[in-house]
Amino acid sequence: MKVAVIGAGIGGLTAAAALRRRGVDAEVFEQARALGEVGAGISLADNGWRLLQRLGLLDQIERVSSHLDQGYFQLRTDGSLISTLRTPGASWDRRVFGIHRADLIDVLTSALPAAAIHTGHRLVDLTEDIQGVRLRFENGETVHADAVIGADGIHSVVRRAVVGEVAQPRSSGTAAYRALVPVTDPGDWDWGTSKMWIGPGRHFLVYPIRADRLINVVAVVPALGGERDSWTAPGDPRQLAAEFAGWDPVVTGLIERVTDTFQWGLFDRPPLTTWASGRLALLGDAAHAMLPHLGQGGNQTIEDAFALAAVLEDTATADIPAALRRYEGLRLERANAVQRASRDAGELYDSVAQENYDQRDERIRRMAPFYQWLSGHDADSLEAPPLAPSR
pLDDT of 372 reads 86
- The pTM assigned to this predicted structure is 0.95
Distance CA 329, CA 28 (A): 24
Range of the domain at 155: 2-168+269-375
- Work out how many domains the chain is built from and give that number: 1
Report the C-alpha gap between 210 and 102 in whole angstroms. 10
296 in a domain, yes or no?
yes
The confidence score (pLDDT) of residue 354 equals: 61
Largest CA distance in the chain: 64
Using CA atoms, how far residue 209 sits from 37, 68, 193, 341, in Å, is 14, 9, 11, 25
Q: Which amino acid is at 106?
A: D
- Domain contains 177: no
Cβ atoms of 357 and 78 closer than 8 Å: no
CATH of the domain at 73: 3.50.50.60
Express each pLDDT in 88-145 by its tens digit.
444 455 789 999 999 999 999 999 999 999 999 999 999 998 889 999 999 999 999 9
Alpha carbon 377 to its chain centroid, in Å, reads: 17
Instruction: Supply the DSSP string of 57-113, one letter for each residue.
Output: -HHHHHHHSEE-TTEEEEE-TTS-EEEESS-TTS------EEEEHHHHHHHHHTTS-
Residue 251, in any domain of the structure: no
Structural domain contains residue 134: yes
> What confidence score (pLDDT) does residue 353 get?
67
Whether 386 is in a domain gets the answer no
Instruction: Supply the DSSP symbol for 165.
Output: S
To the query of whether residue 327 is one of the catalytic residues in this protein, the response is: no
Residue 133's Cβ-side half-sphere holds a number of Cα atoms within 13 Å equal to: 29
Q: Is position 229 within any domain?
A: no
- Nearest to 264, CA basis, from 219, 295, 198, 210: 219
Tell me whether residue 387 is in a domain.
Answer: no
Write out residues in the chain with pLDDT < 70, as ranges. 37, 86-93, 231, 353-355, 391
The secondary structure of residue 372, as a DSSP letter, is: H
pLDDT of 168: 86
Predicted pLDDT at 192: 94
d(CA 373, CA 338): 10
pLDDT at 53: 97
With respect to residue 97, please indicate whether it lies within any of the assigned structural domains: yes
Q: Which of 72, 177, 207, 349 is catalytic?
A: 207
